[in-house]
Chains A and B, each alone.
Chain A
Amino acid sequence: MAGVASKGGEVRSDTYRDSRTWLLLPAWLTLVVLVLVPVSLMLVYSFLTKEFRGGVVWEFSLAAYDQFFCDRGLFGDEPCSIEWNYITIFWRSIWQAGLATLFCLIVSFPTAYFIATRPQSTRVIWLFLITIPYWVNLLIRTVSMRFMLREEGPVNNVLVWIGIIDDPLQMINTSFAVQIGLFYSYLPFMVLPIYAAVERYNFTLSEAAADLYATKYVTLRRVIIPSIQPGIIAGCILVFVPSLGAFLAPDLLGGAKNFMIGSLIEEQFKGNAGNWPFGAAASMILLSMVMIILTLYARQQSKALGAGS
């Protein structure tokens, strides 16, 4: 997502300039009709009046956003004071996604560094091992994590057996489980961009630092990490953004107390609440947050590019 946000690849030639309109037409048609128009329609829906059994009445209304931000008391007739319910859910999502990103970073950096410093022949195998889980169904991975963490599950069994704990811990339906789930879901997204950055890193710089009396850890902090920072940032975005809107991990591992944005939105369309305009408004708010993050990232990237060369 972020690593490719450059320009869709370099122009290699203009051999097919005459037919490029026709060649791009199918993609334009598909994506405009099936993504751009729907997202615009969603924006429109967020300003419509809800119908009680799902769907909308075509009447302009700010009710969805009002419900999100304003607390108007039990009967809905008081003046607006800040409604914390949904802001808390959003804040919890940011917090969970942030922690998951941090865990990913802590584990991924040494992993990516280790792999990138292997000899060419074994490097491919390590990398292959890291990428396989990315290809495994996310639902299955989340389910297997749920299987691991449940009360009579393997993790508890091992912990009891070793004697660290006497009774099984309640791990499922905690925010910890959600963080582990998100961490597990998006770990490869962190490893790969950092790996790519370390692979491009020029190790003569480490030698130069050592030559100038830097210890290994000073070198790591002052030379290596700053050099591969773009990879680290890309990895953080690749983990944070999908974590923010994640549905499976909070739903299967977090339970009702650890509601995140994804579940809130899903509930409006699939669940009993059935408030489409509110769901559309929540989606718009999530989308705006992601777009702000991506725009900031793109701006920082182009600035770094301008300063770097």
Chain B
Amino acid sequence: MGSRKYNIRAYPGFIHLTVLCLLILYLPLAIVAVYSFNNSPSIVVWEGFSWRWYLDVFIGLESAKFKLAAKNSFIIAIIAATVATVIATFSATAMIRGGRFRLRTVSFGLISLPLMVPEIVTAVATLIFFNSIGFERGVLSILLAHIAFCIPFSYLPIAARMQGIEDTYEEAAQDLYATKRQAFTKILLPLMMPGIISGFLLAFIISLDDFIITNFVKGAGVETLPTAIFGAVKQGIKPNIMAISTMLLAFSIVMVTLSYLISKSDDKT
């Protein structure tokens, strides 16, 4: 008694709720990860550690289906994220370093539209659109829908980063005889890079994860990883699904750690 300082900020019990919060977030994922190593075709009982379901994913009965789905997913995610990031970088430059203009608010409204419209509505609208213009549904239709959907996710970190860059840098560059284009490529672009990388990674993950829009605009027989998993789960959760899920989980964690390290290394310089 008495030796403990009265801490104005601390509230008892908050730490327990925080731990509970993290438990809720991680426990289901952890348990799925653990069960993916279960040496049993049943998901109920634990019969020891094994890699068999991972092996099954790569060489098992359904491996061809999942491999193709994974290939589609990654190709779509890489292209969609790249295109969305380029578009977002251009847009952010116009919005943050193009002065004030009449259509600025409208432009931002347009960019953030995919965030405001519920995803299922976007999915319905896109399906109707492709259908009415007679666009064949397949990988390309998924890709186009993903590009549009990813733009705001890419835009936000890029614009935030760009806002943090003082305008004297490009003035200094121009003062030192750089043209506007050179000021952009030699000064602004390198300074924006952490934002561009997070924008890309975010868009990449969003595209890779997307189920609803993909499910609507994909053609018959074309699958991405999430639609393939969803289809399989409908028949019941099988151990190979848990193995795929665990791999995707690990991939996501690697990605987010990567982006965290990039932003952290940038703080130091």
Do A and B contact each other directly (Cβ–Cβ < 8 Å)?
yes
Binding site for B on A (CB under 8 A): 1, 4-5, 7-24, 26-28, 30-32, 34-39, 41-42, 45, 55, 107-108, 110-111, 113-115, 117, 126, 128-133, 135-141, 143-148, 150, 152, 154, 183-184, 187-188, 191, 203, 206-207, 210, 216, 220, 241-242, 244-245, 247-248, 252, 261-262, 265-266, 269-270, 276, 279-280, 283, 286-287, 290-291, 294
Binding site for A on B (CB under 8 A): 8-11, 13-15, 17-18, 20-22, 24-29, 31-32, 35, 43-44, 86-88, 90-101, 103-105, 107-108, 110-122, 124-129, 131-132, 144-145, 147-148, 151, 155-156, 159-160, 162-163, 165-167, 170-171, 174, 180, 183-184, 205, 208-209, 211-212, 215-216, 226, 229-230, 233, 237, 241-242, 245, 248-249, 252-253, 255-256, 260
At the interface, is chain B mostly helix, strand, loop or mixed?
helix
Cβ of A9 and Cβ of B162 under 8 Å apart?
Answer: yes
Cβ of B121 and Cβ of A15 under 8 Å apart?
Answer: no
Out of B15, B119, B151, which one reaches A31, CB within 8 Å?
A: B151
B125 to chain A, nearest CB (A): 4
Give the residue name and chain of the A residue nearest to B132 (CB).
A41
Cβ of A220 and Cβ of B21 under 8 Å apart?
Answer: no
Residue pairs across A and B with Cβ atoms less than 8 A apart, 7 shown, are A8-B112, A14-B98, A45-B132, A136-B252, A137-B248, A248-B211, A291-B116
Cβ of B129 and Cβ of A41 under 8 Å apart?
Answer: yes
Residues from chain A with a CB closer than 8 A to the CB of B88 are 27
Give Cα A303 to B259, complex, Å.
36
Q: Given A135-B256, A148-B31, A290-B116, is A107 in contact with B9 using a C-beta cutoff of 8 Å? A: no
Cβ of B87 and Cβ of A55 under 8 Å apart?
Answer: no
Cβ of B96 and Cβ of A10 under 8 Å apart?
Answer: yes
A124 to chain B, nearest CB (A): 8
Cβ of B95 and Cβ of A114 under 8 Å apart?
Answer: no
Give the residue name and chain of the A residue nearest to B253 (CB).
A132
Out of B17, B208, B215, which one reaches A270, CB within 8 Å?
A: B215
Give the residue name and chain of the A residue nearest to B103 (CB).
A24
Give Cα A9 to B97, complex, Å.
10
Cβ of A114 and Cβ of B8 under 8 Å apart?
Answer: no
Out of B11, B108, B121, B212, which one reaches A287, CB within 8 Å?
A: B121
Q: Given A15-B183, A137-B252, A184-B28, is A9 in contact with B96 using a C-beta cutoff of 8 Å? A: yes
Residues from chain B with a CB closer than 8 A to the CB of A37 are 129
Residues from chain B with a CB closer than 8 A to the CB of A15 are 97-98, 167, 170-171, 174, 180, 183
Cβ of B151 and Cβ of A262 under 8 Å apart?
Answer: no
Give Cα A276 to B127, complex, Å.
10
Give the residue name and chain of the A residue nearest to B86 (CB).
A26
A181 to chain B, nearest CB (A): 10
Q: Given A110-B14, A148-B27, is A16 in contact with B229 using a C-beta cutoff of 8 Å? A: no
Give Cα A270 to B230, complex, Å.
14
Residues from chain B with a CB closer than 8 A to the CB of A12 are 96-97, 162-163, 165-167
Cβ of B25 and Cβ of A130 under 8 Å apart?
Answer: yes
Cβ of A242 and Cβ of B118 under 8 Å apart?
Answer: yes
Give Cα A280 to B260, complex, Å.
41
Give the residue name and chain of the B residue nearest to A279 (CB).
B124
Cβ of A9 and Cβ of B211 under 8 Å apart?
Answer: no
Cβ of B249 and Cβ of A136 under 8 Å apart?
Answer: yes
Out of A5, A16, A287, which one reaches B118, CB within 8 Å?
A: A287
Residues from chain A with a CB closer than 8 A to the CB of B145 are 34
Q: Given A12-B97, A13-B170, A15-B170, is A144 in contact with B129 using a C-beta cutoff of 8 Å? A: no
Cβ of B121 and Cβ of A34 under 8 Å apart?
Answer: no
| A-B interface, 7 closest residue pairs, ranked by CB to CB distance from nearest | A14-B99, A8-B108, A245-B118, A20-B98, A13-B167, A38-B125, A38-B129
Give Cα A271 to B245, complex, Å.
26
Of the candidates B121, B127, B160, B205, the one having the most CB atoms from chain A within 10 angstroms of its own CB is B121
Cβ of B125 and Cβ of A41 under 8 Å apart?
Answer: yes
Cβ of A138 and Cβ of B211 under 8 Å apart?
Answer: yes
Q: Given A1-B112, A30-B147, A203-B9, is A42 in contact with B31 using a C-beta cutoff of 8 Å? A: no
Out of B17, B29, B174, B249, which one reaches A111, CB within 8 Å?
A: B17
B154 to chain A, nearest CB (A): 10
Residues from chain A with a CB closer than 8 A to the CB of B14 are 110-111, 113-114
A182 to chain B, nearest CB (A): 13
Give Cα A154 to B23, complex, Å.
14
Residues from chain A with a CB closer than 8 A to the CB of B212 are 247-248, 262
A99 to chain B, nearest CB (A): 15
Cβ of A111 and Cβ of B18 under 8 Å apart?
Answer: yes
Cβ of B120 and Cβ of A107 under 8 Å apart?
Answer: no
Give Cα A34 to B122, complex, Å.
9
Give Cα A36 to B255, complex, Å.
32
Residues from chain B with a CB closer than 8 A to the CB of A34 are 126, 129, 144-145, 147-148
Give Cα A154 to B101, complex, Å.
57
